[in-house]
Amino acid sequence: MRPLEDVRIVSLEQYGAGPFGSMHLADLGAEVIKIEDPGSGGDVGRYVPPYAGGEDSLFFESFNKNKSSMVLDIRTPAGREVFHDLVRSADAVYSNLRGDVPAKLGIRYEDLKEINPRIVCCSLTGFGMTGPRAAEPGYDYVLQALAGWMSVTGEPGGAPQKAGLSLVDYSGGFVAAIALLAGIHQARRDGVGTDCDLSLYDTAVSLLTYPATWHLTEGYQPTRTHHSAHPSLVPFQAFEAADGWLVVGCAKEKFWHRLTQVMGREDLAADPRFATFADRDRNRDTLVPLLEDLFRTRTVDEWLEGLYPARIPCAPIHEVAGALDDPHTLARALVVETEHPRFGTVRSLRSPVRVGPPGADVGPVRRGPDMGSDTDAVLTGLGYDGERVASLRASGAFGPPDPALADVPLSRAGSGADITVPEAPSAPAR
């Protein structure tokens, strides 16, 4: 068995942050039942361009492997009835919505504890469920700006820059996954569930880490650095070689001494201006231009031929294609393939979260589910018979009732591929 095969998660998730977090749990064996609102076309991630069609996209495939999908409108009395039955059988209710929405939808512990006293209600929101910004929508770009990230990203004197990836979203997903597992552990130990009030804002601010400590304690003012240099360790930055770029980092004094040997400039290590971390930091304006001139005298490969054997932290600066084709990427089995009726063979990335001995098989991978493809199976698992399903359908539990679909299984009836996607009723915390 995989580590989380005895965990059931009912998820009201959409876009990136929420689905990213739950996907790692699904990869570890958790049953993640993705509830999709038929009135809004399901997870908005299904429609993110440019590689999108019908009710699916390669964006969606990136965040929803190994999950199940059911259509359910929990705002209706009938849909709420089904939702409560799911809660009775689940370990956790997981969501990524705006901070005021969990209360409106009734998905907090206070709302569900009478249904299941052990339920863990994990809410990843933009700004949390308390505080002056709780009702604001939160997206990665917004959080990178608000939390100060953009002020320290990019070249000095240039425009503020966001990180190239949605790191607030993805970090928020990891934070939510950790909290959810901790909540389930506590509930199984104590017999009582809880809320997990998580936010992208908290995540982004907390990731300021040591620059924040320096600022709060000593008044340090973080700034953008030349060629992505470390704020205090010198040299530790990107350097331009004769034919490209590489990163070299001297995070320990021994690496600095080795670097001077590889460069044929042992005299630099003996120079009192560059003797220690603090000395090199004070004199970086002298040392860094000197090193930059030296790095331009050889190609990237020529430098790596000397740096790798010396075990100095270094790497060529890959483009995305280079990272995905790197032999280590392939050796770690990070690229997986699934078959998709629209996109054919989809090559995407496996979760880095692994439990087991090194090199062990990390298990099969299923593609992202079609919208509502598992509704029938989930309802059958709840013990619903055909008559009850028909009654729920007529009551709008799975979307506006359509007489033409009365005898059609929900896995086929869910919602049409030509659905018009209205604006979501509440903005997701991406």
Cα–Cα distance measured from residue 281 to residue 278, given in angstroms and rounded to the nearest whole number: 5
Instruction: Give the model confidence (pLDDT) of 135-191 as tens digits.
Output: 999 999 999 999 999 999 999 999 999 999 999 999 999 999 999 999 999 999 999
Residue with tokens 């400039």: 265
CA neighbor of 225 nearest in space, from 295, 282, 151: 151
Choosing from 230, 257, 318, 340, the catalytic residue is: 230
Question: What pLDDT score does 75 carry?
Answer: 95
Query: In this structure, how many other beta carbons lie within 10 angstroms of the beta carbon of residue 294?
Result: 16
**Residue 418, C-beta contacts closer than 8 angstroms, at least 6 positions apart:** none
Residue-by-residue pLDDT tens, the chain, 430 positions: 899 999 999 999 999 999 999 999 999 999 999 999 999 999 999 999 999 999 999 999 999 999 999 999 999 999 999 999 999 999 999 999 999 999 999 999 999 999 999 999 999 999 999 999 999 999 999 999 999 999 999 999 999 999 999 999 999 999 999 999 999 999 999 999 999 999 999 999 999 999 999 999 999 999 999 999 999 999 999 999 999 999 999 999 999 999 999 999 999 999 999 999 999 999 999 999 999 999 999 999 999 999 999 999 999 999 999 999 999 999 999 999 999 999 999 999 999 998 988 988 777 899 999 999 999 999 999 999 999 999 999 999 999 876 555 454 554 433 322 222 223 334 344 3
CA neighbor of 108 nearest in space, from 128, 126, 138, 89: 128
SS3 (DSSP) at 131: coil
In terms of Cβ atoms closer than 10 Å to its own Cβ (0-12, 13-18, 19+), residue 283 is middle
**Residue 378, C-beta contacts closer than 8 angstroms, at least 6 positions apart:** 33, 68, 70, 86
- Enumerate domains of the chain plus CATH numbers: 8-206+334-413 (3.40.50.10540), 245-316 (3.30.1540.10)
Cα–Cα distance measured from residue 160 to residue 219, given in angstroms and rounded to the nearest whole number: 22
What one-character DSSP code corresponds to residue 397? B
Question: What pLDDT score does 429 carry?
Answer: 46
Question: What pLDDT score does 402 carry?
Answer: 65
* Beta strands, E only, 73-205: 92-95, 120-125, 194-199
| Region at 214 (left for phi over 0; alpha for psi -120 to 50; beta for the rest) | alpha
Cα–Cα distance measured from residue 428 to residue 201, given in angstroms and rounded to the nearest whole number: 13
CA neighbor of 40 nearest in space, from 411, 400, 429: 400
Question: What pLDDT score does 416 carry?
Answer: 29
Question: What pLDDT score does 400 carry?
Answer: 87
| 110: enclosing H helix or E strand | helix 109-112
pTM of the shown model: 0.89
Cα–Cα distance measured from residue 122 to residue 193, given in angstroms and rounded to the nearest whole number: 10
Question: What pLDDT score does 362 carry?
Answer: 72
CA neighbor of 206 nearest in space, from 154, 132, 128, 136: 128
Tokens of 32: 């993640």
| 336: enclosing H helix or E strand | strand 335-340
Question: What pLDDT score does 363 carry?
Answer: 75
Q: What are phi and psi of 410, to 5 degrees?
A: -65, -25
| 230: annotated active-site residue | yes
Residue with tokens 């709780």: 134
What one-character DSSP code corresponds to residue 404? G
Spatial contact of 411 and 374, defined as CB atoms under 8 Å apart:
yes
Cβ burial 372-386 (10 Å sphere, 16+ → b, else e): bbbbbebbeeeebee
CA neighbor of 201 nearest in space, from 172, 180, 223: 172
3-state SS of 137-164 is CCCHHHHHHHCCHHHHCCCCCCCCCCCC
Tokens of 180: 């959810």
